[in-house]
Each structure stands twice: as C-alpha cells, then as structure tokens.
Structure 1
C-alpha cells in the first residue's frame, strides 16, 4: 500500500490543496450551511455547492447527515455509529485524508473538523479561508451534478465522541476552568438576543470567533492567536459555547493550533439549549430578559 497522504498542518493553504487534487486518498468536503430566512438551511448549501465548488468536493450535509436531528436542537452531535456511517457514505475511511472548507468564516468547516477529531480521526484539515481564498488565488471551480459517491471500503471505527459536553457539565462546572462565549460582543453583552433571551452564561468571558480571523476569513498567525487566547489557554479546562455549537469550534480549532486543544470541550447545545429553559441564569441582559 502506498504511504498515506500527509497533511502539513491542520490548516492548509489553497496551493497545497491544488497540488494534491488528484491524490486518490484525498476527500474534499464542502460543509457550507448558508443562512436562509428561517436560519441555517442545508438546501441552500447544496445549491451553492452545485453552482461552484472546488473540483472533486463532496457536499457534507452537515445539518442532516452529520448531526442528530432527533434532539430538537440544530446541529447536535450524532451518535458515533451514525457519524461513522455518514462519513463512510461520503467515502471517508481509514485511509482517507480529509480537507474541509466552507464559504462562511470557516465555522462550518471547523465544526466538521471537530467532529472528526472527536472520534480520533487525525488526517483532517481545514482549508484556510475556504472557497473565497481558493477563488481569490485564481484556482478552478467546477459545477453541476457529480457521479454517485462510492462508499468507503474500510469505514472508520466508531468510538465515543470526545471534545463535547452538555448542559449538566456547564451547570456543574467546577471552579478553575475557563468558560468562553464565541459569539460577537453584541450578543455577549445582551445588546442582541439569542433565542429570545439576552446575555451570557455566568462566569464566561468573550472571545468572538471572528476576532481570530483576518478580513479575508483566514486564521490569524499562530503567534497572534497565542496572544488573543492567552487569558484562557492556561486554564485546566476550557469550555466553549456560542449560539448552537458551530462558531465555538473556530475557537476550539484556534486553541488546537496553539497546542491547547486537549483540555477543550464544546458545549454542544450552547445558548440554543441553555436559553430554552428560562430559569437558567444569564448575566449582562437582565433588564431585557425581564
């Protein structure tokens, strides 16, 4: 068997991906889920993928296939066996190397990357800057339908997902750990609501996911990320949340880039779940919450 394709980093540049497009072990996933009138809409992502994508890219179906749609909350992590099966249907198996991209701030790509990391799959990377960076380099795109995907011959092994926690973990969080809100400041301080409520979970600090990216949607240099994350990187545990467990994975990925991801968990339900119970406390927006 030839050697497996080796990633230079969990963050790859368009030129690296272009050089390896013909490698048979490479799987490229478009994880985009655009926002429609009623929130994230996978159908819009599928239409966008069909209209223009990196050559060979497969549409990840993050909202329907890589999430548990039975929980009542959007984008809940799937059960391990369901995740492995969905990945196998995308052609991802033991010998695959996966590069994930999206067309919006990297957050859909980092969500898929965090899921893969959670089941112990390490040959995965995010395309820095996503499709916009690819197009900006003048690299080719393709459009239209594709042939049916071949299922992976050697699927991944299902194992317990790590890197996530739930509302009980946050409510019972011991002192000493960091709790980080990845939403923009206007949501953190209560100026704007999340699911009808204002403010943030008590004890949390604000590191907006977008603050870790440049204007082109690419991650800031590692030395800059270290500075921006210095206030939480030394904590014994780091719990991240956002609106629904998506943009928090940008912060998780950035912490991975600086070598601090082993103590990171994403609160999967985030404020979508937290705010569903009006008795759960929030701070910063008490006047608005009534």
Structure 2
C-alpha cells in the first residue's frame, strides 16, 4: 500500500520541507434513527477545535458537491470542481494530502475527486487520530458564528485554473451512473458490482438514511470498514490482498456503491492502491437508487464466498 497513502511522520516531513496542501474533509453524519433520517453538517466546527497545522477545511457537503443533483455529495462538473479546489489552495504540481476525523471515509471521497482530476493526492492513513497518536501538534481556530452555521452556495462558474478544464482533464472511467447500473442489471454490460456498506445495512436490517432499505440485486458486499484496523488505519497489504483477492483477480470492471458514494471510495482507494485501475463509483448510490420505487432492492446478507456479485 504505497503511493495513495501517507503516514503521520511522512506528512510531518512533507509539511516541513516542501509545499503541500492539507485538507480536512470531515462531514458530520448522524446515525439514522429511522428510515429516511438523513442528518448531516459540514465538519468546519470540528476542524476549528483541532486540526493539523496549516490545514484547511474542505466542505464536501456543500462547496464541493452539486446542489442540483437531487442527492447528497454529488460530484460537480470537473471545471467547476477545479475552481472550488483552487479556492482551497489546490494547484497543479503541488501535492494534496486529505484527512478526516472519521477513519478515512471522507478523506477517501475527496481523494477520489482529486485523483479524478489528475491531481497528485494521497490520504493520511488513520486521519487526525493517527496524527495525534504520534504526538504531533494540532491547532485551534476561532470562527465567526456565521462561518459555523452557514455555507455559501456553490457557484456554477467555470474558472480557468490550469487543471480540470479541458475535455480530457478528468480521468475517464472513475464514475458510473444510474443508467449504467440499470444496463448491468439487464445483462447488457459486464461488470462486478459491490456494495461497501456494513452487512446489516446491506441486508436492510437497520434503519437507512434513504427512502428504502436493502441493496441493488445481484451485488456483493465488501464493507469498507473491514479494510481498517482498530486504529483506523488500513490493514497491512497482505491482509488486504486476502480480503480483496477475488476482486483483485476478477476479469470484469469493478463498480462500487454504498449509501451516498462515500464509503465506496474507501474500498476504491484500497483496490486502486493494490493495482486495480478499472474501478468506478456509482455516485448516486442508494440515495438516488432507492428514491425511485420502480427500481428493485433486495434484502438479506451476501454469502461469504458468493460469486454472484458479478451478476
């Protein structure tokens, strides 16, 4: 597991000796108490309480998502996203390190967006918890009440920032949409489709933030958090290869989804780091899929060695 992950000590060295942009991508997402209970807020207040020195908060909930999509965390068009990232200090040729306070799921989402635009980026393995566990300092910031309680609307303006603006600027194949998944279900497309939610959510056994419980029929289940150790860091490479061996060897392209396209990027990061390039995320995931009662959902847990996730 190299290239896409960085440890706290290495980040400390990078921040001391060279230009690097450090972004806290945390979103506060409450556990649902009932079906349809979606409560989320930007992590700006938490960043102000304690953050890695020199870092900035990146608002995945509002500033870096498309408010017109009809579901949370939808990706922006590449040129608009590039402009938003430039406002956070992201520039071509300067590496970006993402982290969060939630064991990496938000950092992975931001990393996926940055990598999509072809930018040099990696994730702080273990996030803020790992940084503090190694004794490195954190800073506090004083925010105005307005800054904590509100977020400016995302502009649709396209800014020429030197990346993310041309027709070939965004890497092809990082995303699939609802129509792609429908085509796969109909047998018109070959892919291996996997849900990154925990087994209880996959099976529809617990409340969901979305319209209906369950999973897309025929899909497998590899929980993103199963890839992490108790300390929130990715498991050693040999363990990951054991966990993901069937996917690593699968001849079909891999499509990942979850509830809102977040946990799926953690699984995607691991697969990419282990050598799979043909990995895409269904951005709308279950929030978009479950909202249409005409689209099917199944309940029940996946079999431990079920090859049926390939459709």
1:157: how far off?
3.6
- Range moving further from structure 2, 23-32 or 104-113: 23-32
CA distance in 1: counterparts of 2:24 and 2:170, whole angstroms: 25
Gaps of 5+ in 1: 1-7, 147-151, 286-290
Could you tell me which of 127, 140, 143 is aligned with 2:137? 140
Which position in structure 2 is the counterpart of 1:89?
87
Distance 1:26 1:81, change over 3 A: same
Q: Where do residues 69-148 of structure 1 align in structure 2 (5 Å cutoff)?
A: 69-121=67-119, 123-145=120-142
Shift of 1:32: 0.4
Q: Figure out how many residues of one structure are paired with residues of the other and give that number.
A: 269
Partner in structure 1 of residue 180 of structure 2: 169
Moved over 3 A (4+): 152-155
Asked if 2 retains the 8 angstrom alpha-carbon contact of 1:180 and 1:205, the reply is yes
Say whether the 8 Å CA contact 1:25–1:95 is kept in structure 2: no
Equivalences for residues 204-243 of structure 1 within 5 A: 204-235=219-250, 236-243=252-259
Tell me the distance in 2 between the aligned counterparts of 1:80 and 1:86: 10
Corresponding residue for 1:39? 39
**1:185 equivalent in structure 2:** 199
Q: Is the 8 A contact 1:193 1:199 kept in 2?
A: no
TM-score, normalised with respect to structure 1: 0.88
Q: Which whole-Å CA distance do the structure 2 matches of 1:36 and 1:188 have between them?
A: 18
- Cα distance change of structure 1 residues 61 and 155 upon mapping to structure 2, 3 Å threshold: farther
C-alpha displacement at 1:196, in angstroms? 3.6
Give the superposition deviation at 1:203: 1.1
1:15 corresponds to: 9
1: distance between equivalents of 2:75 and 2:51? 26
User: Structure 2 stretches of 5 or more lacking a match?
Assistant: 32-37, 144-158, 301-311
Equivalent of 2:267 in 240, 251, 258: 251
Give the secondary structure class of the aligned counterpart of 2:15: coil
Q: What are the superposed Cα offsets for residues 200-223 of structure 1, whole Å, 9 maximum, x if unpaired?
A: 111100000100000111001112
The whole-number CA distance in structure 1 between the counterparts of 2:44 and 2:290 is: 30
1:270 is aligned, of 279, 285, 288, to 285
Q: Contact between 2:212 and 2:291, CA under 8 Å: does it hold in 1? A: no
TM-fit CA distance, 1:190: 1.7
Q: Aligned equivalents of 2:240 and 2:16: distance in 1?
A: 33
Do 1:188 and 1:284's aligned partners in 2 also have CA atoms closer than 8 Å?
A: yes
- Alpha-carbon offset, residue 156 of structure 1: 2.1
Tell me, in whole angstroms, the C-alpha distance in 1 between the residues paired with 2:182 and 2:17: 46
Q: Does the CA contact (< 8 Å) of 1:93 and 1:153 recur in 2?
A: no
SS in structure 1 opposite 2:287? helix
Structure 1 position 193, deviation (Å): 4.0
- Classify the secondary structure of the residue corresponding to 1:22: helix
Tell me: higher relative CO, structure 1 or 2? Use CA pairs within 8 A at least 6 residues apart.
2
CA contact (8 A) 1:85 1:155 kept: no
Deviations 1:18-72 (A, max 9, x none): 1122345200000000124852211xx1001111100000111111121111111
Q: In the TM superposition, what whole-angstrom CA distance separates every residue of 1:229-276 from its partner, at most 9, and x where no partner exists? A: 11222232101000000000000000011101x211100000000000
**Residues 78-123 of structure 1: per-residue CA shift (max 9 Å, x gap):** 01111110011011111211000000020100001001111112x2
Query: In the alignment, what sits opposite 1:197?
Result: 212
